[in-house]
């Protein structure tokens, strides 16, 4: 089994590091563990059992039912930190 912290290193997959970089662009400082926990506990369906995001970078920002997965993650940090 692959290491859970680097589970996806494909350039098309929105890995935890990529999501942290996007959050940082919004002046949200979050650790990889925090992001992983938010993904794990959220209704996001493109995830594995460790809380890694398994969707593409495009899927991360695609809005389904009004919110994208990135919106869900960002909303958590803006309302809980």
* pLDDT at residue 28 in the model: 95
Read off the pLDDT of residues 19-77 as tens digits, 9 standing for 90 and up: 999 999 999 999 999 999 999 999 899 999 999 999 999 999 999 888 999 999 999 99
Joined tokens for residue 35: 């992001």
Structural domains of the chain, count? 1
The Cα–Cα gap between 18 and 1 comes to 22
For the chain, how long is the longest CA-to-CA vector? 35
Which domain covers residue 8, as residue numbers?
4-80
pLDDT at 11: 80
In angstroms, the CA 64 to CA 4 distance is 27
Task: For residue 35, give the H/E element and its range.
Answer: helix 32-41
Q: So what's the pLDDT on residue 64?
A: 80
């Amino acid at each position: 089994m692959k290491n859970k912290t680097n589970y996806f290193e494909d350039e098309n997959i929105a890995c935890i590091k990529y999501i942290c970089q996007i959050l940082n662009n919004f002046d949200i400082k979050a650790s990889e563990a925090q992001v992983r926990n938010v993904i794990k506990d959220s209704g996001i369906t493109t995830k594995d059992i460790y809380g890694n995001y398994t969707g593409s970078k495009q899927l991360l920002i695609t809005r389904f039912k009004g919110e994208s997965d990135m919106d869900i993650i960002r909303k958590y940090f803006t309302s809980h930190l």
